[in-house]
Amino acid sequence: MSRRSLLTIADLDRAEIARILRVGNRFAEVMERDIKKVPTLRGRTIINMFFEASTRTSTSFELAGKRLSADVVNVKGSGSSVEKGETLKDTVITLSSYLPDVIVIRHQSVGACQMAARYTDAAVINAGDGKHEHPTQTLLDLYTIEREVGPLDGLHVAFVGDVAHSRVARSGVRGFQTMGARVSLIGPPTLLPRDAEAALGVTTSTDVRDIADADVVYVLRMQLERMGPGGFVPSLREYAMTYGINHARLRPGQRVMHAGPINRGVEISGELADDPATLIERQAANGMVVRMAVLYDLLAGPAGSTEPAGAPIGAVAV
Amino acid sequence: MAVRLVQRPGPAASLVIRGARVLDPLAGIDEVRDLVVRDGVIGGDPDGLEVVEAEGRLVVPGFVDPHVHLRTPGREDLEDIATGTRAAAAGGFVTIVAMPNTSPVVDTAAVLGALLERGEQEAAVRVGFLAAITVGQEGRELTEQAELAELGAVGFSDDGHPVADAEVMRRALQYQRITGLPLVLHEEDPSLSGRGVAHEGAVASRLGLQGIPSISESVAVARDAALAEYEGGWIHICHVSASETVEEIRRARARGVRVTGEASPHHLTLTDEAIASLDPARHKMNPPLREESDRLALVAALADGTIDCVATDHAPHDADEKEVPFEEAPFGITGLETAFAVCNTHLVETGALPLATLVRRMGADAAGVLGLPAPSLADGAVADVALIDPAARVVVGHEPFQSKSRNSAWLGEELRGRVELTIAGGRIAWRR
C-alpha cells in the first residue's frame, strides 16, 4: 500500500488490491488450523473506534487484530467521552497519545475518517463513514467473488436497491471497476444518486429486470434509518414487490451478494437469503481474513514488497 | 427615514497618491495621474500634502459589500465590529452591510440601536445593518419594520434562513411601501434542500453527501419574483449560485420586476470539485459550490449586469467549529480580505471579466443594490479610495488575517492583488 491509511477504496490500485487478496488467501489457510493465531503483529496496537452501531464489522476487525497477536482496544461511541460532549478531533488526539499503530473508525458522518487522519500519526482505516465509503467491505466482496465465482475481469455486477444511502455501493463500484468488472445500478428513481453515470462511470436503470445480464446481483439493504421523514418509496410492501430479489427474478447461475444485515422479505426474500447458493455467509466469513490482510499490509508489509510466505506464518504460529 | 452608516471618528485624510492608474468606470476616469485627497475629500490643492508614490499601482473607488456577517452580538469570539471592519478595510472595502442573523437576532430597535452605537465607536469603515424580516428569523411574524427603518436599518433580511411561508413574504413586500427599504433574500426551498450539505450532482453522489439541488434556490427566486411583481416590491437576491437562478432573475427583470442579485467570489471561481478533499473549513458553504456550467453562467451574468455585484458573504467560524466531519460542520467561509485578489486572479487575469467591470461591480453597483451612495473618485466626493498593487503576489494566510477567523477557501493559495491603502469616509482605514 503506497499510503499509510485506507480512507477510500480509491487509495488502492489494482496491483495493491490483488496483493491484499493474495495475502487474504494465506490467512485463510491459517484459519483452517486448530490454533488460529499468528504472531505477525505482536507488540502492535490497534484501536477500534465505533461511533455507529456495528456487529459484524467491529467483531471481524477485533478478531482480525487479535489473531495477528496485536493488542486491540475497542472504543464505542456510547458510554465514552464522546457521550460527554468530546469532539471527534479531541478523541482522536487523546487516543493517539497512546501511540497506536492503527485506528479503525466507523462514524455516521461523511468525512470523519479524513478529518481524523489529519490529527493522528496512526494509520487510519475507514470502517464506514456515513454514506461515503466502506473500503474493507469492498475488499472482502472482491475476495469472495474471486474465490467463489472467478476473476473479476469482464464480470458484470449489478447493485440493486437503495444505492443513494449505500457506502457499500459507493466503495463497491470503484473497487469492482478497478479490478476490471462492469457495474450497473438498479433501483427506484428516488434511490439512485443524481448524475450517477457521470459520477461513478456506471449504467443505471429503474427496471429490476435489467439484472438479467448480471453475473453477480448485489442486493443493497433498504437503509430506513438514513431516510428520515418523507418516504423515498411509497411503502416497503410495494418496494418488495417491485425491487425485492427472489428466486423468481434470477436466472440460473447468477450469484447473489448482500453486505448485511438483511431486511428479510424486503430487499431479499427469506428463502433466497437462506439459499446456500448465495454468497452472503461467505462474505461474512471472509471479512475477518481480508481485514487481517489489510492490517498486515499496513503494518508489516512494506509497500509493494513482501507477502507472508505460507511456511513462516505456520512455523511461528503460537 | 434615512439609512444610517456609522464609522469611528478620526482625522480626515490628506495626501497625494502619485502616478497611479486612476480608474473610476462610473465617473469615466481611466488615466495615469495623481489623486489628491484633502481633508477627506477628493481634489483640491496638493501643496504641502504627504505624497504616496504609486507608480504601477491602481486607484479605484473603494469597494462596498452588501453581505457580511460580523457575528456581533453573540459570537464576538468569531468576529466583532472592530475586527470585521478592519478585515474589510484590508480588502479595500469602504462600506459594508452586516446581516442580522446574530444572537440575539437584530429584530428590535433596542438591538439595532446598540449595534449602531458600537459601530460609531469601533468601525474602521462605514458599516450599516440589516434588520430581520421576521421575529427571530423564524418566518412567522414581521418585525417592527417601520420603527427599525426609522432608526436607520439599511433593509431587511432573514439571511441564513429563507422566508418559507409565501404569505409572510407577501406581507413583508406590502410593508415595504412604508419603509421603502429593500428585502434582501436568502433563497432556498427548505423542503427541497432538506438536510443537504453540498451541491446535488456528480461529486456529492460520489462522496455520499446529501445534496442541495440548484432548483431549491431557483424555485424560491421564481416565487418571490412573482410576489414582488404582484405587490410592486423591491427584492435583492443573496449569493446566487445556480444558472437556473440567473435565468429567473433575467425573466423577472424582463417583466419589470425590481430585482437585483449578488454573487460571491467563491461561487464565481470554484466548483463542487473542490469539496472532494472533504475539508469543511475551506469548502462547506450554503448555497454550496456548484458545477462549472453554473459558475460560467454566474460570470457571464456578472459581466452583463444580470448579477449586479460581488458580495463576499464573509462568514467567520473558528477552527473548532470547522474541525469536525464535513457533514457536521457549519456553513460559510471568510472573504473580505481576499475578495479583490480572488476576482482579479481568477476572473480579470484569465480574461473572463474586464477590470473596469469588476471595479464597478464591487463598488458603485454593490452600493446600488441596497440604495446606498456610490463611492466615487470625482472631484468633491468624500474620499472612498482603495490603492491596490494588482500584480503583487500574496499567499493567503502568510500574513495574519485581520479577521478573527481564518476559514478561507484560499488558505495557502497564491493570489495576485494586494490592497495597500484604504480611505473610507474620508479617513485612513488601512495602510500596509
- Grid coordinates representing B370? 441596497
Within 8 A of B320 by CB-CB distance, chain A residues are 87, 89
φ, ψ at B57 (rounded to 5°): -95, 175
B158 part of the active site: no
The 10 Å Cβ neighbour count of residue B398 is 9
Q: Which band of pLDDT confidence, cut at 50, 70 and 90, is reported for residue A308?
A: low
- Grid coordinates representing B15? 495626501
> Could you give the 3-state DSSP secondary structure of residue A35?
coil
Within 8 A of A132 by CB-CB distance, chain B residues are 207-209
Could you write out the DSSP letters of every residue in A291-317? Answer: HHHHHHHHHTS-TT-----HHHHHHT-
In this structure, are residues B189 and B220 in contact, taking their beta carbons and an 8 Å threshold?
Answer: yes
Q: In angstroms, rounded to a whole number, what is the distance separating the alpha carbons of residues A296 and A308?
A: 9
Alpha helix positions (H), B255-343: 265-269, 280-283, 292-304, 319-322, 339-343
Q: Which band of pLDDT confidence, cut at 50, 70 and 90, is reported for residue A80?
A: low
**Tens digits of per-residue pLDDT, A88-98?**
999 999 999 99
Within 8 A of B209 by CB-CB distance, chain A residues are 110, 131-132
Please identify which residue in the block is written with the cell numbers 460580523.
B70
8 Å CB contact of A110 and B209: yes
The candidate with the shortest Cα–Cα distance to B235, out of B302, B304, B176, B168, is B176
Cis peptide leading into residue A234 (ω within 30°): no
End-to-end CA distance of chain A: 27
Amino acid A302: pLDDT: 53
Please identify which residue in the block is written with the cell numbers 509493494.
A304
Q: Which band of pLDDT confidence, cut at 50, 70 and 90, is reported for residue A310?
A: very low
Q: In angstroms, rounded to a whole number, what is the distance separating the alpha carbons of residues B66 and B370?
A: 7
**Tens digits of per-residue pLDDT, A14-66?**
999 999 999 999 999 999 999 999 999 999 999 999 998 888 899 999 999 99
Q: Which band of pLDDT confidence, cut at 50, 70 and 90, is reported for residue A317?
A: very low
Q: In angstroms, rounded to a whole number, what is the distance separating the alpha carbons of residues B220 and B225?
A: 9
Selecting among B107, B313, B384, B389, the annotated active-site residue is B313
8 Å CB contact of A170 and B320: no
Half-sphere exposure of A186 (CA within 13 A, CB side): 25
End-to-end CA distance of chain B: 38
8 Å CB contact of A130 and B208: yes
The 10 Å Cβ neighbour count of residue A238 is 12
ipTM of this complex prediction, to 2 decimal places: 0.87
In this structure, are residues B111 and B143 in contact, taking their beta carbons and an 8 Å threshold?
Answer: no
Distance set, CA A184 to CA A143, A161, A213, B206 (Å) = 20, 11, 10, 15
Mutation choice for A interface testing from B205, B216, B273, B321 by most A CBs within 10 A? B205
Beta carbons within 8 Å of B98's beta carbon, 6+ residues apart: B68, B69, B70, B72, B81, B84, B115, B127, B128, B129, B130
φ, ψ at A177 (rounded to 5°): -65, -40
Chain B nearest-CA distance from A108, in A, is 9
Q: Report the pLDDT averaged over residues A295-311.
A: 65
φ, ψ at A290 (rounded to 5°): -70, -40
Tell me the pTM: 0.92
The length of chain B is: 432
Within 8 A of A170 by CB-CB distance, chain B residues are 206-208
- Grid coordinates representing A234? 411509497
In this structure, are residues A92 and B256 in contact, taking their beta carbons and an 8 Å threshold?
Answer: no
8 Å CB contact of A110 and B327: yes
In this structure, are residues B216 and A139 in contact, taking their beta carbons and an 8 Å threshold?
Answer: no
pLDDT at A311 over 50: no
Out of A110, A112, A194, the one facing B205 most closely (by C-beta) is A194
Chain A residues touching chain B at CB-CB below 8 Å: 87-89, 107, 109-112, 114-115, 129-133, 167, 170, 193-196, 198-200, 228
Full pLDDT tens readout for chain B, 432 residues: 689 999 999 999 999 999 999 999 999 999 999 999 999 999 999 999 999 999 999 999 999 999 999 999 999 999 999 999 999 999 999 999 999 999 999 999 999 999 999 999 999 999 999 999 999 999 999 999 999 999 999 999 999 999 999 999 999 999 999 999 999 999 999 999 999 999 999 999 999 999 999 999 999 999 999 999 999 999 999 999 999 999 999 999 999 999 999 999 999 999 999 999 999 999 999 999 999 999 999 999 999 999 999 999 999 999 999 999 999 999 999 999 999 999 999 999 999 999 999 999 999 999 999 999 999 999 999 999 999 999 999 999 999 999 999 999 999 999 999 999 999 999 999 999
Chain B residues touching chain A at CB-CB below 8 Å: 194-195, 200-211, 213, 277-280, 320, 323-328
- Grid coordinates representing A282? 461467505
Cis peptide leading into residue B46 (ω within 30°): no
Out of B205, B213, B324, the one facing A115 most closely (by C-beta) is B324
Beta carbons within 8 Å of A34's beta carbon, 6+ residues apart: none
Q: In angstroms, rounded to a whole number, what is the distance separating the alpha carbons of residues B1 and B217?
A: 32
pLDDT at A305 over 90: no
